[in-house]
Every structure is written in C-alpha cells, then in structure tokens.
Chain A
Amino acid sequence: MNDNSKGKAPSRRQFLSGAAAIGVGAVGAGTARAAGPDPLITQVQEWAQATGEGVDATPYGLPIEFEKDVVRRNVEWLTADTISSINFTPIHALDGTITPQGCAFERHHSGAIELSKSDYRLMINGLVDTPLVFTYEDLERFPRENRIYFCECAANTGMEWAGAQLNGAQFTHGMIHNMEYSGVPLRTLLEEAGVKPEGKWVYVEGADASSNGRSIPLEKAMDDVLVAFKANGEALRKEHGYPVRLVVPGWEGNMWVKWLRRVEITEMAIESREETSKYTDTLEDGTSRKWTWVMDAKSVVTSPSPQAPITHGPGPLVITGLAWSGRGAITGVDVSVDGGKNWLPARLAAPGTDKALTRFYLDHNWDGSEMLLQARAKDSSGYVQPSKAQLREVRGENSIYHNNCIQTWWIKENGEAENVEVS
C-alpha cells in the first residue's frame, strides 16, 4: 500500500504538530527508561511558583487556549453562503457522550436569529378545541422532563455516498450532537389546547425567515417529542434555537425546529419545502423516498482517525468511538482492525440508552502494523449497521441523506489515518 500521504492533508499536519508537542521522550513510552531526568519534574516551573488567574477572570468560562483547535468547522464548498449552511462537531477530539453546546454543530436555513424570551410566543392552532398562545414564562410552568437524545442531520455522512471524500471524523460524521434537554412534552401542550379527533399531523415551524416547517405524525408528537428550553443544564444557545426548540428523538435533525413558534394540528402533511425538495432520498431508478424520518443505527471510530492520529507508537492503544440509533438503544458495537474480516466486541462505557449516543472502547495492544479500522453498531430492534456496499445495493449513490454505512479508517504504520473505502 502507498504510504505517501499528501502534505496538504490536515491529518498530516496535525500528526506532525501533535508529535512535536509530545516530544521525543514519548516514543519509547511505557516501561522504557528515561534518558535523563525530566526538567518538567526536576526544575521548579513558573506555574508552581507564581499565582494563577483569580475567580471572575472569565465570568462565563471558555476552554483553555491549548484546546483552541477543538471547534466546529465548516466545509466552504458545500454551500453557497454560511447563512444557509452547516458546520461540524469536533467529535474526533471529544470523549464521553454529552456534546458541549459551544462546539455542537449548527445548521441554519436563514441564519441564527436573536429572539429574546420576552419576545417569544408559541401558538398552537388548527384542529384544536382552543387555539392557544403561550409565552416563555407559561412554558416554564408546565411539568417538565429531562432527557438525553442525539440530534443528527439527515445529511450526516452524505458526502461519502460516491466514495471516500472528507478526511476526518468531524467532517464525515460531525453533523451530530447529544445533549440533555429540559422541557415540556409536546403532548402536554397539545392536550392543553385539546386535539380534535380529525387531527392526524402536527405542522411545526420556527420564527426565523426560513420557518423550516415540517409535518410530524400526531402519534410521534404525542409520544416523546419535547418542547425544550434548556440543554446540558443551561439555556439553549442562539445557534440551537434559543429560547425554545423542538426535540424529536431519533428522527432527522431537520425536524428539530429551532425558535419554535407554531404547532398546527392538520389532517394531512403540509409537504413543505423541507419535506419534498429536500430531505427526500432519491434512489437509483430516480424515484425518491419521502418521510424517511428515523435515523438508522450508526457508529464511527472517533480516535484514532485522520484528525486524531496515533502519536505514541506501538503498545496500548485506546480505540474509541460513538454509536447511536433512532430506533432504540445501542446493544453492542463490534470493532474490526482488518477491514471487516474479523470483529471484536467493544466495551460500552455505559449501557446504551434510547435514542442517545453511546461511547464504546476497544482497549487494544497495537503491534505497529497497518490497520483498517471499522465499527459496526447493533440496536435494540435487531438492526445491524450495514456496509456502504449493502446500502448502495438498495439505494444507489444519490440518496444524499441517511448514509449510515460502516466507516473505514486506514491507520498507517506511522500512526497517521486516512478515510478510505475497502472492498
């Protein structure tokens, strides 16, 4: 195999800077003897002598400067303008399952608007006994729930249909975040208005110019949909729909309407722009699937990966990643180091929960040879994450959305990684 990666690729650059930062002493890590005393230990360091910053230096804290590379990133050529665009969560650099709001991916159709709580209104209308208007304060007086759910854009991994394209887990799988939401079940608000028997759907829309209207079957709306105003314990961020967004567990992110302003009970689907011209999946013969709401089981190794190469040489290696399913809980993840010939069950950091991210680990002893790393998720419905070939066989290459194929990272002998496709 050709080992000559292009100097321009981010993996290469990050690999070099990462290696330099860790230093020569790291190469023979583990039981190897130190060549000499480590000055970081033998010499009194500045931070051990002088004092640090006082409290209130940053009233709302930000990550320390050493972590400044762990940020959302955009792929400029994907869209015409950042106002109607998407960026990606740095999943390659995160651990655990909760995504901090500040680096959780953004997707806007007409920009992130600023809507204050005092200007906020939510209307319930259509086929209800009493059309209602709620203020933000009203919402906070309803009985509340806390739930952890993943939100994945239907287009996550969408650039990979025709082949390996973007070199990094952030770019191939970063249209996802996982937060703990506090909010009111939509069911509670609908019952407050009284749904008429002929009501079969809810049409939800946002306050921004795009409105991003979507139709949701009443059954789902009455099941687990939340009208959320807090995420990870604090107010939603502007870019995630402050002050109120919809949470539609397990279903494609486009339905999680931000700046939620109206819920209309209807007899039929409205067939808005976002559920006809977009978020429909064209098959090989030119017909298109619509109403493909649920996100199928999926997983990805987040480290090592192109943006998170191995810098420590052979020996103990933590292989880790994320798995999730919109159809239920993750029941297991298998990892392959040989491109899918053989699989090993990974260790789940905690038992999978319904429609939320699950962290997995494979504690591996790397012999320093090349690996073709893959992960394969299984969920509580019995679904097993398919290969790209299996998906293409049914759907062709033009679906754009709902690509939940098994991802392969080619780990080279020097620890660098590259996004590849394998036979």
Chain B
Amino acid sequence: MSKYRKLLAASALGASLAVPAYAEKLGLGRPALPEEIAAWDLDVAPDGTGLPEGSGDVFAGEEVFAEYCAICHGDFAEGVDNWPKLAGGDGTLADKDPLKTVGSYWPYLSTVWDYVNRSMPFGNAQSLEPDEVYAMVAYILYSNDIVDDEFTLSHKNFLDVEMPNAEGFIVDDREATEAHFWTEEPCMTDCKESVEITMRAAVLDVTPDEGKAEDVEPQPAVQAAVEVEEVAEDTAALDPEMIESGKKVFKKCKACHQVGEGAKHRTGPALNGIIGANAGAVDGFKYSKAMKAASDGGLVWTDAEMAAFLAKPKAYMKGTRMSFAGLKKSEDIAAVIVYLKSFGS
C-alpha cells in the first residue's frame, strides 16, 4: 500500500513529462525458480559458458545428421535447394559470390552448438540430447575439413577447436570509414555532367507477377549424354588394395546406400551389381524424374559414366535426388568403383 502511494506521488510530480516516473520497484512479477531458469537459459557464449557436459564423435554425428538434417542440408552438409549450405566455401569470402558456411564464415563454435541445440532440427527443435548435439557439431566440423574422422567433440575440448574465420570480423566502423557521408549540405545544382541508365530491372525480369498463380516449375532436363557403351569388365582381376581403399571412400555413401549381402534400399538404392547395369533400374526404388529419363534414354553405368556421375552428381544429372557434392579425387572415384564391382557387375 505504501508503495502504491509513493507511485502516485511520483506520477503526480512527473505528470507533465512524457516518460512515466516512479520512485522504486513496483513489486510485480515473481522470482524465477532455478528449474525454470535451467529450462529456458540454454544459450552458449563464445567462452563456453552454458555448455552442458557431454561428448559425441564424427561417426555418431554422421548418423544423427543423416537422420535429421540431410533432407535440407544435404548428406554432406552441402545444402539442398535454397536451404543453407553448412560446409564448403573455404576461401570464397572475397569472391563475387561468397559461400558462407560454418567452415568458411562462422567465427565461433559456440554458435553452432547453441543453434543446433536450441532451434534444430527444423520442425522439431529442442528434441536432441546434448551428446547428439556434440556429435552433430563434430560431424559438421568434419564436413568442413576442420577435424578428422576420428574426432570426438566434448565440453572439455570445445574451446580447442579453431574456427577458420574467427579473425574475419570487425566491429561496425561506419562512423569512421563512412565519415564522408556526414556532409550536412549536399550538392543541389549541376551535381553531375551527364546521367546515363546503366542497368534496368526489366531486363532481369525476376520480379514476382502480381495476382498470378505460382509459376510452373520447369522440369529438370537431363544434361547427361546417354550413349550406351559396351565395356569389357574384368571382375576376376580386381585389385584387393583398390577394394580396400574403395571401402573407406564408400563411408561417404553409406548414409544413403547399402551394398553387399542383405543390402536394402535406404535414401538411395542398394548398389549390388550397379556397375554395368542400366541406370535407374534397381527394382523397388523410386527414382527421380531425371534418373528415369536417363534410364529410358538407355544410360548404362559404365566405369566412365559412373565416374562422371560421382565427380559431380548434380552437374552430371540435373534433377537427381542424390544430394551429394561429389568425390573430389579421381583415385577415390576409381577405388569406389572397384569396390562396387566387388559386389558383382
């Protein structure tokens, strides 16, 4: 009651001011309970404040990522459609079209942990256990070549991870570098000699039509050449070393493909006997329109075609569902083809 009187008195004194004035706390609200703070105070600061105990490794992360994240971010964090790419882009920040990913751009690892923990997976946020988050973050680091495939991330080694672009940021310096914009009295007459139109929006024509139904999506065109090649296969003489190194490369494919005895379709088709087979022809698998078209066109997975496909799947076949950036090294491609041949061709 006394509090109320004081407020009234203060308000009366300050009545002519726009800002309400009062003398002291109003005693509104109630103290937050420790359990309530623990439930909501989840943010993690760059110095690791807020990180719960836990750990997870790259392999565990790969599984969690394939299950929850790959549908938007791609199996290798390379991004699907317009969804964010999480990996790649190293050294592109000064390019015409920089690729900003966790590896190429994000300055703090805490941000990754915090965001995955608080807001991912999209549509099912705050459903992951701390160990799953550690594993997933470890996998994202691995996808960016920041750690190797043996890496385990935990609250203990969290601050040891060096983010490549940690030093890439400066605090807003507009008032210094743009001081010349504070000109007070700008030019009013004869400010330029000539004025020419240098670019027009109508030329680009990317403005949405008003009041019109959505544009019809263009069907993906198969860009691949679909000529049939007969290649003699010598399955008997496969190099055991090549098979072994191909097996390692195939880890990158395992999130979506199975091969060997009892192999089943997962996100991608089972791959027994795939080399030398007709494309898009594995029984019981639902292919993309692009792959079906290639199949109808007679595409056969010869060594050469498979090698071209694996180097850059989306460039080789526009519209394929295989959300994989591609194998960079030709020896990896050769090895994984030999490995696949060891399961029949």
Binding site for B on A (CB under 8 A): 1, 5-6, 8-11, 13-14, 69, 73-77, 79-81, 83-84, 109-110, 123-126, 130-135, 138, 141-145, 163-168, 171, 185, 191-192, 194, 203, 205, 209-211, 213, 261-262, 264, 266, 268, 270-273, 276-277, 280, 282, 284-294, 296, 306-307, 334, 338-343, 372, 376, 378, 381-386, 390, 394, 397-398, 410, 418-423
- Given A141-B26, A421-B198, A276-B173 contact (CB < 8 Å): no
Chain B residue total in the interface (Cβ 8 A): 87
Contact present for B195 and A290 (CB under 8 Å): no
The main secondary structure of chain B at its interface with chain A is: loop
The docked-state distance in angstroms from the alpha carbon of A419 to that of B169 is: 33
Q: Among the listed A272, A306, A372, A376, which residue makes an inter-chain contact with B186, where contact means beta carbons less than 8 Å apart?
A: A376
Extra contacts, 15 of them, besides A77-B82, A134-B28, A376-B186 (Cβ < 8 A), are A9-B205, A73-B208, A76-B215, A109-B119, A130-B31, A145-B19, A164-B201, A209-B126, A268-B47, A271-B110, A288-B105, A342-B190, A378-B184, A378-B186, A420-B198
Chain B residues whose C-beta falls within 8 Å of the C-beta of A343 in the assembled complex:
186-189, 191
Report if B93 contacts A (CB, 8 A).
yes
CB distance from B95 to the nearest CB of A (A): 8
Contact present for B191 and A291 (CB under 8 Å): no
Contact present for B186 and A165 (CB under 8 Å): no
Contact present for A271 and B173 (CB under 8 Å): no
Report if B20 contacts A (CB, 8 A).
yes
In this complex, what residue of A is CB-closest to B211? Answer: A69
Contact present for A383 and B177 (CB under 8 Å): no
In this complex, what residue of B is CB-closest to A262? Answer: B40
The docked-state distance in angstroms from the alpha carbon of A271 to that of B186 is: 38
Report if B81 contacts A (CB, 8 A).
yes
Counting from the closest, the 7 A-B pairs by CB-CB distance are A143-B20, A286-B94, A339-B195, A80-B82, A286-B93, A419-B201, A209-B125
Chain A residues whose C-beta falls within 8 Å of the C-beta of B232 in the assembled complex:
none
Within 8 A of A (CB), among B166-182: 168-174, 177-178, 180-182
Contact present for B188 and A342 (CB under 8 Å): yes
Chain B residues whose C-beta falls within 8 Å of the C-beta of A421 in the assembled complex:
197-200
Binding site for A on B (CB under 8 A): 11, 18-22, 25-26, 28-32, 36-37, 40-41, 43-47, 72, 81-83, 93-94, 96-98, 100, 102, 105-108, 110-111, 114-115, 118-119, 122-123, 125-126, 168-174, 177-178, 180-184, 186-192, 194-202, 204-211, 214-215
Chain A residues whose C-beta falls within 8 Å of the C-beta of B37 in the assembled complex:
123, 125, 131
Chain A residues whose C-beta falls within 8 Å of the C-beta of B126 in the assembled complex:
209
CB distance from A80 to the nearest CB of B (A): 3
CB distance from B225 to the nearest CB of A (A): 30
Chain A residues whose C-beta falls within 8 Å of the C-beta of B190 in the assembled complex:
341-342
Chain B residues whose C-beta falls within 8 Å of the C-beta of A5 in the assembled complex:
202
The main secondary structure of chain A at its interface with chain B is: loop
CB distance from B36 to the nearest CB of A (A): 7
Contact present for A74 and B211 (CB under 8 Å): no
In this complex, what residue of A is CB-closest to B181? Answer: A386
Contact present for A271 and B111 (CB under 8 Å): yes
CB distance from B260 to the nearest CB of A (A): 36
Chain A residues whose C-beta falls within 8 Å of the C-beta of B206 in the assembled complex:
77, 165-166
Chain A residues whose C-beta falls within 8 Å of the C-beta of B171 in the assembled complex:
289-291
Contact present for A110 and B122 (CB under 8 Å): yes
The docked-state distance in angstroms from the alpha carbon of A124 to that of B36 is: 11
CB distance from B14 to the nearest CB of A (A): 10
- Given A296-B174, A334-B186, A420-B201, A166-B45 contact (CB < 8 Å): no
Chain B residues whose C-beta falls within 8 Å of the C-beta of A9 in the assembled complex:
202, 205, 207
In this complex, what residue of B is CB-closest to A13? Answer: B210
- Given A77-B206, A130-B31, A171-B207, A384-B201 contact (CB < 8 Å): no
The docked-state distance in angstroms from the alpha carbon of A112 to that of B72 is: 20
Contact present for B184 and A73 (CB under 8 Å): no
In this complex, what residue of B is CB-closest to A275? Answer: B111
Contact present for B195 and A372 (CB under 8 Å): yes
Q: Among the listed A13, A209, A277, which residue makes an inter-chain contact with B105, where contact means beta carbons less than 8 Å apart?
A: A277
Contact present for A10 and B41 (CB under 8 Å): no
Q: Which of B82, B180, B207 has most A Cβ within 10 Å?
A: B207
Contact present for A133 and B192 (CB under 8 Å): no
CB distance from B88 to the nearest CB of A (A): 14
CB distance from B305 to the nearest CB of A (A): 31
In this complex, what residue of B is CB-closest to A73? Answer: B208
CB distance from A24 to the nearest CB of B (A): 24
Contact present for A133 and B45 (CB under 8 Å): no
The docked-state distance in angstroms from the alpha carbon of A1 to that of B203 is: 14
Contact present for A423 and B205 (CB under 8 Å): no
Q: List 27 A-B contacts (CB under 8 A).
A: A69-B210, A69-B211, A80-B81, A110-B125, A141-B26, A143-B11, A143-B20, A144-B20, A164-B199, A192-B25, A192-B29, A210-B119, A271-B46, A273-B115, A277-B102, A277-B111, A288-B170, A290-B170, A291-B172, A338-B195, A372-B197, A384-B184, A386-B178, A410-B197, A418-B200, A422-B196, A422-B198
Chain B residues whose C-beta falls within 8 Å of the C-beta of A383 in the assembled complex:
181-182
CB distance from B213 to the nearest CB of A (A): 12
Chain B residues whose C-beta falls within 8 Å of the C-beta of A80 in the assembled complex:
72, 81-83
The docked-state distance in angstroms from the alpha carbon of A159 to that of B212 is: 22
